[in-house]
Amino acid sequence: MSGKFELSKSKNGKFMFNLKAGNGQVILTSQLYDAKKDATDGIASCKQNAAVDERFERAASTSGQPYFNLKASNGQVIGRSEMYSSEASRDNGIVSVKTNAPGADIKDLTEA
């Protein structure tokens, strides 16, 4: 089962997307966008940049929990991961984004 992007609308009326792995687990969450087109452009950027390892910023929270950001070529954050319990788990999350994002379908939940 392959991954998918879910495009949704937040309670405040802004748009966002989640990339989910084939098992349904969220592996990347976008920022909030004012316009739906901006969110769909973010998905396209995610698909394009997920194949480039240098676009993944590996980081740790102030409490030491590993996470990552996927960045566009201009340095802007496209999406952020959850907090992981170890660097190995974070690195597996990056592999999952690289595997799932490029060919993922988009499920538009904004029209439901």
Q: What is the pLDDT of residue 1?
A: 56
C-alpha–C-alpha distance, residues 17 and 76, integer Å: 16
Q: What is the pLDDT of residue 18?
A: 97
Quick check: helix, strand or coil at residue 60? strand
CATH code: domain 4-108 is 2.30.29.80
Q: What is the pLDDT of residue 42?
A: 96
Which H or E element spans position 93? helix 87-100
DSSP string, 37-106: HHHHHHHHHHHHHTT-GGGEEEEE-TTS-EEEEEE-TTS-EEEE----SSHHHHHHHHHHHHHHTTT-EE
pLDDT in tens, the chain (112 residues): 579 999 999 999 999 999 999 899 999 999 999 999 999 999 999 999 999 999 999 999 999 999 999 999 999 999 999 999 999 999 999 999 999 999 999 999 997 5
